[in-house]
Structure 1
Amino acid sequence: MDFVMSVPEHRVGEGLQFAWDDDFEIEMEVGATEVVIRANRAGLTSLARHLLTLAQQGVHEGSHIHLTADQEIDSQIDLVLERVEKD
């Protein structure tokens, strides 16, 4: 089965655009030795799209998306996905 996902195109000077699928659900549990992220299909595709948005050519180091506890994710703490450049 083919799966096609559209990713908002990065345009210099306009900031990053993040798109959510309807009815997404994401929860995160932080334990002593692991972090578990659980999501429905819409939540997983939304997270994948966010990561692909950050991975685009021209996106600067330090660009990030901040997922706020009990808003975008069901969690006690926030989750930050950030781009870094390593050699």
Structure 2
Amino acid sequence: MKKSKFSQPQILKILRQQTKGKKVRDICTQHNISEPTFYLWKKKFLQPVSRDKVRLRDLEKEMSQYKKILAEQTLLINLLKDLLYKKS
């Protein structure tokens, strides 16, 4: 894959120009990039937030399951200790 001549901070700076009201065609002409490149960058650098949110939600769900398992195991361990000490 061909390496971009723009760094990630430069790409983000270019993409932010659209939010300031500049037209995509003018931005692309100014930075000597094609419109498809601009939209690919936009997809790559500005939309991972939604994927990150989904991943975070999945991780939080998994973590809550692990916490539940830990609580159950701790309860079982304490119960077994109590039974063991009562027999002695």
Superposition TM-score, scaled by structure 1 size: 0.26
Higher helix share: 2
Higher relative contact order (CA 8 A, sep 6+): 1
Higher strand share: 1
Larger Rg: 2
